[in-house]
Amino acid sequence: MRPYEYAGGTAVLTGAASGIGRALAVDLASRGSHLALIDRDEEGLRTLVARLRPQYPDLKITTHGFDLSRIDEIPALADDVLREHGGLTLLINNAGVALSGSFEQLTLDEFEWVMTINFRAVVAVTKAFLPALLATPDSHVVNVSSLFGLIGPAGQSAYSSSKFAVRGFSEVLRHELAGRGVGVTTVHPGGIRTNIARNARLGSGVGAAEAGAGQREFERLLRMDPARAARVILAGVAHREPRVLVGSDAAVLDLLARLLPGSYGRVLAALQGRVGRS
Protein backbone atom coordinates (compact mmCIF):
# COMPACT_ATOMS: atom_id res chain seq x y z
CA MET A 1 0.00 0.00 0.00
CA ARG A 2 0.99 3.61 -0.48
CA PRO A 3 2.10 5.60 2.57
CA TYR A 4 -0.79 6.93 4.61
CA GLU A 5 -1.49 10.63 3.94
CA TYR A 6 -2.75 12.58 6.96
CA ALA A 7 -3.46 15.93 5.29
CA GLY A 8 -7.10 16.17 4.26
CA GLY A 9 -8.02 12.83 5.84
CA THR A 10 -10.45 12.23 8.69
CA ALA A 11 -9.37 10.40 11.83
CA VAL A 12 -11.78 8.85 14.32
CA LEU A 13 -10.03 8.58 17.68
CA THR A 14 -11.32 6.95 20.87
CA GLY A 15 -9.93 7.84 24.29
CA ALA A 16 -9.05 11.28 22.94
CA ALA A 17 -9.40 13.40 26.07
CA SER A 18 -6.16 12.49 27.84
CA GLY A 19 -2.86 10.64 27.70
CA ILE A 20 -1.77 9.11 24.41
CA GLY A 21 -5.16 9.90 22.86
CA ARG A 22 -4.85 13.60 23.55
CA ALA A 23 -1.29 13.63 22.20
CA LEU A 24 -2.44 11.81 19.06
CA ALA A 25 -5.22 14.35 18.50
CA VAL A 26 -2.78 17.26 18.76
CA ASP A 27 -0.30 15.60 16.39
CA LEU A 28 -2.99 14.60 13.90
CA ALA A 29 -4.30 18.15 13.76
CA SER A 30 -0.78 19.46 13.12
CA ARG A 31 -0.60 17.09 10.14
CA GLY A 32 -3.84 18.46 8.67
CA SER A 33 -6.25 15.70 9.66
CA HIS A 34 -9.91 16.37 10.40
CA LEU A 35 -10.92 14.81 13.72
CA ALA A 36 -13.83 12.99 15.32
CA LEU A 37 -12.87 12.76 18.99
CA ILE A 38 -14.57 10.19 21.23
CA ASP A 39 -14.30 9.96 25.01
CA ARG A 40 -16.58 9.64 28.03
CA ASP A 41 -14.74 12.66 29.55
CA GLU A 42 -16.71 15.43 27.84
CA GLU A 43 -15.00 18.20 29.79
CA GLY A 44 -11.62 16.86 28.68
CA LEU A 45 -12.82 16.89 25.07
CA ARG A 46 -14.00 20.49 25.37
CA THR A 47 -10.65 21.55 26.80
CA LEU A 48 -8.80 19.80 23.96
CA VAL A 49 -10.97 21.32 21.24
CA ALA A 50 -10.64 24.79 22.78
CA ARG A 51 -6.90 24.39 22.23
CA LEU A 52 -7.09 22.96 18.72
CA ARG A 53 -9.75 25.04 16.97
CA PRO A 54 -7.98 28.43 17.18
CA GLN A 55 -4.77 26.83 15.88
CA TYR A 56 -6.43 24.89 13.06
CA PRO A 57 -9.56 26.80 11.99
CA ASP A 58 -9.74 25.01 8.63
CA LEU A 59 -10.09 21.56 10.20
CA LYS A 60 -13.43 19.98 11.00
CA ILE A 61 -13.21 18.82 14.60
CA THR A 62 -16.18 17.17 16.29
CA THR A 63 -16.55 15.73 19.77
CA HIS A 64 -18.64 12.74 20.80
CA GLY A 65 -19.08 12.11 24.50
CA PHE A 66 -19.57 8.39 24.80
CA ASP A 67 -18.96 5.54 27.24
CA LEU A 68 -17.60 2.60 25.24
CA SER A 69 -19.01 0.12 27.73
CA ARG A 70 -22.37 0.79 26.01
CA ILE A 71 -21.54 -1.70 23.28
CA ASP A 72 -25.05 -1.86 21.83
CA GLU A 73 -25.03 1.90 21.15
CA ILE A 74 -21.79 1.94 19.18
CA PRO A 75 -23.48 1.59 15.74
CA ALA A 76 -25.49 4.75 16.52
CA LEU A 77 -22.27 6.51 17.56
CA ALA A 78 -20.70 5.57 14.21
CA ASP A 79 -23.77 6.87 12.39
CA ASP A 80 -23.43 10.21 14.21
CA VAL A 81 -19.74 10.50 13.30
CA LEU A 82 -20.30 9.61 9.66
CA ARG A 83 -23.24 11.99 9.42
CA GLU A 84 -20.96 14.81 10.58
CA HIS A 85 -17.89 13.91 8.52
CA GLY A 86 -19.23 11.92 5.58
CA GLY A 87 -16.55 9.25 5.95
CA LEU A 88 -13.18 8.50 7.50
CA THR A 89 -9.70 7.49 6.42
CA LEU A 90 -8.23 6.52 9.79
CA LEU A 91 -9.69 4.73 12.81
CA ILE A 92 -7.64 4.71 16.02
CA ASN A 93 -8.98 2.48 18.79
CA ASN A 94 -7.04 3.93 21.71
CA ALA A 95 -9.42 4.00 24.69
CA GLY A 96 -8.63 1.65 27.54
CA VAL A 97 -8.96 1.04 31.27
CA ALA A 98 -6.83 -0.77 33.84
CA LEU A 99 -7.59 -2.93 36.87
CA SER A 100 -5.17 -3.76 39.66
CA GLY A 101 -5.06 -7.07 41.48
CA SER A 102 -4.29 -10.73 41.03
CA PHE A 103 -6.86 -12.93 39.33
CA GLU A 104 -7.83 -14.33 42.73
CA GLN A 105 -8.56 -10.80 43.98
CA LEU A 106 -10.87 -9.87 41.09
CA THR A 107 -14.55 -10.59 40.66
CA LEU A 108 -15.77 -11.87 37.30
CA ASP A 109 -17.75 -8.64 36.85
CA GLU A 110 -14.55 -6.62 37.29
CA PHE A 111 -12.72 -8.83 34.81
CA GLU A 112 -15.57 -8.48 32.30
CA TRP A 113 -15.59 -4.68 32.69
CA VAL A 114 -11.99 -4.55 31.44
CA MET A 115 -12.63 -7.00 28.62
CA THR A 116 -15.69 -5.02 27.49
CA ILE A 117 -13.95 -1.66 27.19
CA ASN A 118 -10.49 -2.79 26.13
CA PHE A 119 -11.47 -5.53 23.69
CA ARG A 120 -15.17 -5.83 22.88
CA ALA A 121 -15.46 -2.10 22.25
CA VAL A 122 -12.50 -2.27 19.85
CA VAL A 123 -14.27 -5.02 17.92
CA ALA A 124 -17.62 -3.19 17.95
CA VAL A 125 -16.14 0.17 16.88
CA THR A 126 -14.16 -1.48 14.08
CA LYS A 127 -17.25 -3.37 12.93
CA ALA A 128 -19.33 -0.19 12.88
CA PHE A 129 -16.82 1.80 10.84
CA LEU A 130 -15.52 -0.99 8.59
CA PRO A 131 -17.96 -0.39 5.68
CA ALA A 132 -16.89 3.26 5.53
CA LEU A 133 -13.21 2.28 5.69
CA LEU A 134 -13.64 -0.26 2.89
CA ALA A 135 -15.36 2.42 0.81
CA THR A 136 -12.31 4.69 1.14
CA PRO A 137 -9.16 3.61 -0.73
CA ASP A 138 -5.94 3.62 1.34
CA SER A 139 -7.70 3.90 4.70
CA HIS A 140 -6.18 2.52 7.89
CA VAL A 141 -7.05 0.99 11.29
CA VAL A 142 -4.88 1.40 14.39
CA ASN A 143 -5.57 -0.75 17.44
CA VAL A 144 -3.66 0.19 20.58
CA SER A 145 -2.70 -2.92 22.50
CA SER A 146 0.03 -2.65 25.15
CA LEU A 147 3.37 -3.92 26.34
CA PHE A 148 1.10 -6.25 28.31
CA GLY A 149 -0.21 -7.58 25.02
CA LEU A 150 3.31 -8.94 24.49
CA ILE A 151 3.98 -10.24 28.01
CA GLY A 152 1.70 -11.38 30.82
CA PRO A 153 3.03 -10.13 34.16
CA ALA A 154 1.58 -11.18 37.50
CA GLY A 155 -1.19 -8.91 38.71
CA GLN A 156 -2.44 -8.00 35.23
CA SER A 157 -4.76 -10.88 34.36
CA ALA A 158 -7.68 -8.79 33.08
CA TYR A 159 -5.67 -6.04 31.41
CA SER A 160 -3.19 -8.39 29.77
CA SER A 161 -5.96 -10.72 28.58
CA SER A 162 -7.75 -7.81 26.94
CA LYS A 163 -4.61 -6.53 25.25
CA PHE A 164 -3.56 -9.97 23.98
CA ALA A 165 -7.07 -10.22 22.54
CA VAL A 166 -6.65 -6.88 20.76
CA ARG A 167 -3.36 -8.13 19.34
CA GLY A 168 -4.90 -11.34 18.02
CA PHE A 169 -7.95 -9.58 16.56
CA SER A 170 -5.73 -7.04 14.84
CA GLU A 171 -3.51 -9.67 13.24
CA VAL A 172 -6.52 -11.54 11.84
CA LEU A 173 -8.03 -8.28 10.59
CA ARG A 174 -4.76 -7.35 8.87
CA HIS A 175 -4.71 -10.65 6.99
CA GLU A 176 -8.38 -10.42 6.04
CA LEU A 177 -8.07 -6.85 4.74
CA ALA A 178 -4.81 -7.38 2.87
CA GLY A 179 -5.40 -6.39 -0.73
CA ARG A 180 -8.66 -4.57 0.03
CA GLY A 181 -7.17 -1.11 0.55
CA VAL A 182 -7.31 -1.01 4.35
CA GLY A 183 -4.11 -1.24 6.39
CA VAL A 184 -3.97 -2.38 10.03
CA THR A 185 -1.38 -1.44 12.64
CA THR A 186 -1.17 -2.86 16.15
CA VAL A 187 0.51 -0.57 18.69
CA HIS A 188 2.29 -1.82 21.81
CA PRO A 189 3.19 1.13 24.05
CA GLY A 190 5.61 0.55 26.89
CA GLY A 191 5.81 2.90 29.88
CA ILE A 192 4.11 6.10 28.69
CA ARG A 193 3.65 8.90 31.22
CA THR A 194 -0.16 8.93 31.49
CA ASN A 195 -2.69 8.65 34.32
CA ILE A 196 -3.50 5.00 33.62
CA ALA A 197 -1.96 3.76 36.88
CA ARG A 198 -3.53 6.53 38.96
CA ASN A 199 -6.95 5.93 37.38
CA ALA A 200 -6.83 2.13 37.55
CA ARG A 201 -9.64 0.46 39.45
CA LEU A 202 -8.81 -1.84 42.33
CA GLY A 203 -9.96 -5.42 42.46
CA SER A 204 -12.39 -6.09 45.30
CA GLY A 205 -9.83 -8.21 47.14
CA VAL A 206 -6.97 -5.71 47.00
CA GLY A 207 -6.01 -4.07 50.30
CA ALA A 208 -5.23 -0.35 50.52
CA ALA A 209 -1.55 -0.80 51.42
CA GLU A 210 -1.01 -3.29 48.62
CA ALA A 211 -2.80 -1.01 46.16
CA GLY A 212 -0.66 1.99 47.05
CA ALA A 213 2.58 0.04 46.69
CA GLY A 214 1.46 -1.41 43.35
CA GLN A 215 0.49 2.01 41.99
CA ARG A 216 3.83 3.54 42.98
CA GLU A 217 5.73 0.66 41.37
CA PHE A 218 3.68 0.95 38.17
CA GLU A 219 4.10 4.73 37.96
CA ARG A 220 7.89 4.42 38.17
CA LEU A 221 7.77 2.52 34.88
CA LEU A 222 5.87 5.31 33.07
CA ARG A 223 8.64 7.44 31.61
CA MET A 224 8.02 8.35 27.96
CA ASP A 225 6.24 11.61 27.15
CA PRO A 226 2.88 10.98 25.40
CA ALA A 227 3.75 13.46 22.64
CA ARG A 228 6.82 11.43 21.76
CA ALA A 229 4.74 8.24 21.80
CA ALA A 230 2.23 9.85 19.43
CA ARG A 231 4.99 10.76 16.98
CA VAL A 232 6.29 7.19 16.99
CA ILE A 233 2.81 5.78 16.42
CA LEU A 234 1.90 8.13 13.59
CA ALA A 235 5.25 7.61 11.88
CA GLY A 236 4.55 3.88 11.94
CA VAL A 237 1.08 4.39 10.49
CA ALA A 238 2.44 6.61 7.73
CA HIS A 239 4.70 3.73 6.68
CA ARG A 240 1.87 1.17 7.08
CA GLU A 241 3.87 -0.78 9.64
CA PRO A 242 1.94 -3.83 10.86
CA ARG A 243 3.26 -3.46 14.39
CA VAL A 244 4.67 -0.51 16.32
CA LEU A 245 6.59 -0.99 19.57
CA VAL A 246 6.69 2.27 21.49
CA GLY A 247 9.69 2.62 23.79
CA SER A 248 12.82 0.63 24.45
CA ASP A 249 11.08 -1.25 27.27
CA ALA A 250 8.53 -2.64 24.81
CA ALA A 251 11.28 -3.70 22.40
CA VAL A 252 13.40 -5.35 25.10
CA LEU A 253 10.54 -7.21 26.78
CA ASP A 254 9.15 -8.35 23.44
CA LEU A 255 12.55 -9.89 22.70
CA LEU A 256 12.65 -11.41 26.18
CA ALA A 257 9.28 -13.08 25.68
CA ARG A 258 10.47 -14.51 22.35
CA LEU A 259 13.73 -15.86 23.79
CA LEU A 260 12.26 -17.18 27.06
CA PRO A 261 8.58 -17.80 26.32
CA GLY A 262 8.05 -20.11 29.28
CA SER A 263 10.32 -18.54 31.87
CA TYR A 264 10.47 -14.78 31.33
CA GLY A 265 8.35 -14.32 34.47
CA ARG A 266 11.37 -14.85 36.68
CA VAL A 267 13.28 -12.14 34.84
CA LEU A 268 10.30 -9.78 35.14
CA ALA A 269 10.09 -10.40 38.87
CA ALA A 270 13.79 -9.59 39.27
CA LEU A 271 13.42 -6.41 37.19
CA GLN A 272 10.37 -5.30 39.18
CA GLY A 273 12.28 -5.85 42.40
CA ARG A 274 15.15 -3.70 41.12
CA VAL A 275 12.76 -0.92 40.08
CA GLY A 276 11.05 -1.10 43.47
CA ARG A 277 14.40 -0.51 45.25
CA SER A 278 15.48 2.37 42.99
Handedness of CA 232, 47, 116, 112 (dihedral sign): positive
DSSP string over the chain: -PPP--TT-EEEEESTTSHHHHHHHHHHHHTT-EEEEEES-HHHHHHHHHHHHHH-TTS-EEEEE--TT-GGGHHHHHHHHHHHHS--SEEEE-----EES-GGGS-HHHHHHHHIIIIIHHHHHHHHHHHHHHTSTTEEEEEE--GGGT---TT-HHHHHHHHHHHHHHHHHHHHHTTTTEEEEEEEE-SB-SSHHHHPEEPTT--HHHHHHHHHHHHHT--B-HHHHHHHHHHHHHTT-SEEEESHHHHHHHHHHHHSTTTHHHHHHHHHHHHHH-
Beta strand 61-65 with 10-14 is unpaired
Specify whether 4 is catalytic.
no
Cα–Cα distances in Å, from 248 out to 2, 116, 147, 190, 225? 28, 29, 11, 8, 13
Check 4, 6, 159, 264 and give the catalytic one: 159
Active-site annotation, residues: 159
